[in-house]
Structure 1
Amino acid sequence: MASEAKKPSAIWETIKTVFWALVVAGIFRTIFFQPFWIPSGSMKDTLLIGDFLFVNKMAYGYSYASCPNIRLGSINVDAQKLCAFLDGDNTRLWGDEPERGDIIVFRHSVHGTDFIKRVVGLPGDKLQVKEGRLIINDEVLPIEDAGVFQEVMERQGPLRRTPQCANGAVGFGAICEKPRFVETLPNGHKHNILNITNQRYDNTGVFVVPEGHYFFMGDNRDNSTDSRAPLTAQGVGYVPFENLIGRADRVIFSSAGRSMLFFWTWRGDRFFEKLE
């Protein structure tokens, strides 16, 4: 009889343990760091498909975007509703402004999807792209040749995407190449960018970044949906300050396969790699 009496108590203790573990994990994810998998190649070669990182949510303070979207089956609670008390006037609590060149995860203003790009334009900046060169406040950014970025033509990550190549249509297993350059931002920050071909956003009109907003671009310039495209369900446009989630500083883990469990696809040379 005594053992039967203990069973409900043991079950209740297990439920409480799981509950508090979820609460602690939720607080950690909301306040400190958010895990993020890289799903696309828009930030190559700085970030590769399958890179895993923790986003520093303390870097820019807190807004509604600091709260996670909750999607569990039929349950769908948007962060904008979950943390509505923080949503308004494009402000943040204890907010520090990003620096030009920071790699940031932010929330899309239309559908709430998390994006990761590099901030290149600050409030009040004038930007334009001509023949693939970024111009900020009437100054063409200097670039230096950094050789060729090479990767194997194969399906990458859980979405099984294939890379775009500058050396034509190559077959599976062949080497896909993209010219690589080092771009220097006005504050002296240097980072790699890739070029594939001439495309529509290699030549743009002039953008003037509104107050309280930021202009983002992917390092893989010809394969990135970013602020060069006006805000729609597809385009990003100018990103409000309150939509910033946090800064990406370091790759923690990386896998080239469909699953992190495929240990033979792990990229050990990228573990704990600092991001520039």
Structure 2
Amino acid sequence: MATTKAPPKKAKGGLAETTRFLLLLFLFALILRSFVVAPFVIPSGSMLPRLMIGDYLFVAKWPYGFSRYSMPFGLGGFDGRVLGQEPERGDVVVFRYPSSDEDYVKRLIGLPGDRVQMRGGQLVLNGRAVPKVRIADYLMPRTPNSPCRYVAPEAALPPVVENGETFCRYARYRETLPGGRSYEVLDQWTGEGDDTPVITIPEDHYFMMGDNRDDSADSRYPLDRDGVGFLHRDRLIGRALIVFFSTDGSASWTRPWTWFSAARLERVGRTF
């Protein structure tokens, strides 16, 4: 008796399966970046000494909730924020710069209703001076992406050379906010941002400052002077979470071995 042969099985895989896998991978990455964490690279020295140029961060999206500015590629298109909690004083925050598509990172200093003033280079919150204690100078390795940058020739301190390596030198202080949260700041000289009038932060806005006080465009300056002004809560993107990579800028695509020698591995894993 003749037997009927079963039809040959179709080979697994192929273009359709690959396309499906890539689409699922893209969808997963989009959800992760939209609602969990997003990468951010430090482009300037305004947050020295905590953050250096060439640091790569993961930014947590969920703590502050979500707005159209925190969604990738401008997805969403809605007004206001949904879910999440209010940020706290001292948080290192990534936000969308007003009037542009750039993302900035600064430290949140003032909450809605706070009265903020700079007086002789010292931060004053709600009428009380925030403790600012002089500590050892900050020595930053001079590298291709981190030159010795000072806001004025008079502010420059002599560099330090140790074991053949040159370090930029900055006066460093420890500042402690109400509630006990502390961090380090740099104070290069007596500049315009060291003395301001008393500013009351309006509802739904925050006051942001860079830790490198004399080299930061922040809420001490209005938008028409390239500052941040008061930052609206809708423009919050996320809270800095952890440094996952750092490079000193000496790597070259044509020299693969420099991809490893340029890495600042001692900075990886630093949290906030």
What is the TM-score when the length of structure 2 is the normalising length?
Answer: 0.85
- CA spacing shift, 1:111–1:232, aligned 2, 3 Å: farther
Distance 2:251 2:84 in 1: 36
Is this contact kept in 2: 1:193–1:221, CA < 8 A? yes
**What's the counterpart of residue 100 of structure 1?**
89
Q: 1:1-276 alignment to 2 at 5 Å?
A: 10-69=14-73, 79=74, 82-84=75-77, 86-87=78-79, 91-156=80-145, 163-164=149-150, 166-168=155-157, 174-232=166-224, 234-259=226-251, 262-275=259-272
Report deviation, 1:168.
4.4
Distance 2:176 2:231 in 1: 22
Distance 2:167 2:54 in 1: 19
Q: Give the SS at the match of 1:196.
A: coil
Distance 1:169 1:154 in 2: 16
Q: Give the percent of matched residue pairs that are identical in Structure 1 and Structure 2.
A: 38
In structure 2, stretches of 5+ residues that fail to align are 1-9, 253-257
Is this contact kept in 1: 2:148–2:168, CA < 8 A? no
Distance 1:257 1:153 in 2: 11
Amino acid at match of 1:163: R
Aligned residues: 252
Distance 1:162 1:111 in 2: 28
Find the structure with the greater CA-based Rg.
Answer: 2
Report deviation, 1:174.
4.0
In structure 1, stretches of 5+ residues that fail to align are 70-78
Q: Give the SS at the match of 1:150.
A: strand
What is the TM-score when the length of structure 1 is the normalising length?
Answer: 0.84
